[in-house]
């Protein structure tokens, strides 16, 4: 009886690179993803050919997020870091205090209706500033929809890039955040420190 030789990590990495290259060449890569380390923990980044479609915190369970993407967008999801190099670079610049806005193509297919209206107004909140849920409801054209704004922020598929962390309670306290309270405070503190230094 003969046994096949064991496949080592280098062989697996080579096979994975070939798979990514083949899928890209044949337009079979519908969702590329990678993870990056950040001051708010590991971030999952996912991109379609149209643009960045998802940013997820570790506490949101990256495996569950990938499963949801395979159900909501396409089952052709593959770890492929290259297509997300620009996203990783801009996030790194943001976390180093060298970037205050993002210049990335975005795929907003996971947003619909009022949630989409809310999330599209988040970049109107200037870097280093905050707005209350009520103020964002006004921006979105529905002043009474304060709770719906909270839900839209909680379900924002592109946190950090579309800055829902800048939305706070009317009394100025941070409120809830998909990445957790500590992540929200870290982002707000980063922007305050950079804003003061500038």
The span from the CA of 40 to the CA of 186, in Å, is: 7
Q: Is 153 a catalytic residue?
A: no
10 contacts: CB under 8 Å, gap ≥ 6? none
The span from the CA of 164 to the CA of 11, in Å, is: 42
The DSSP symbol for 40 reads: T
Residue 192 half-sphere exposure toward CB, CA atoms < 13 A = 9
Residue 132 tokens read as: 């209350």
Catalytic residue (choose from 29, 44, 80, 164): 164
The span from the CA of 33 to the CA of 80, in Å, is: 6
- Spell out where 17-62 has E strands: 31-36, 43-48, 51-57
Residue 78 tokens read as: 């593959």
Q: Would you please indicate which residues are annotated as catalytic (active-site) residues?
A: 164
């Amino acid at each position: 009886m003969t046994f096949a030789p064991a496949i080592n990590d280098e062989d697996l990495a080579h096979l994975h690179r070939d798979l990514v290259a083949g899928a890209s060449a044949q337009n079979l890569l519908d969702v590329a993803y990678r993870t990056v380390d950040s001051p708010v923990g590991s971030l999952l980044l996912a991109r379609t050919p149209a643009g960045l479609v998802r940013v997820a915190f570790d506490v949101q369970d990256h495996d569950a997020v990938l499963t949801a993407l395979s159900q909501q967008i396409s089952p052709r999801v593959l770890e492929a870091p290259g297509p997300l190099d620009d996203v990783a670079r801009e996030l790194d610049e943001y976390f180093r205090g060298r970037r205050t806005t993002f210049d990335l193509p975005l795929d907003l297919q996971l947003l619909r209706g009022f949630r989409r209206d809310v999330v599209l107004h988040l970049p109107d909140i200037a870097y280093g500033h905050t707005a209350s849920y009520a103020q964002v409801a006004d921006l979105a054209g529905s002043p009474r929809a304060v709770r719906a704004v909270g839900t839209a922020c909680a379900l924002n598929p592109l946190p950090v890039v579309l800055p829902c962390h800048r939305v706070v309670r009317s009394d100025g306290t941070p409120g809830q955040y998909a990445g957790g309270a500590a992540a929200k405070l870290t982002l707000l503190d980063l922007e305050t420190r950079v804003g003061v230094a500038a």
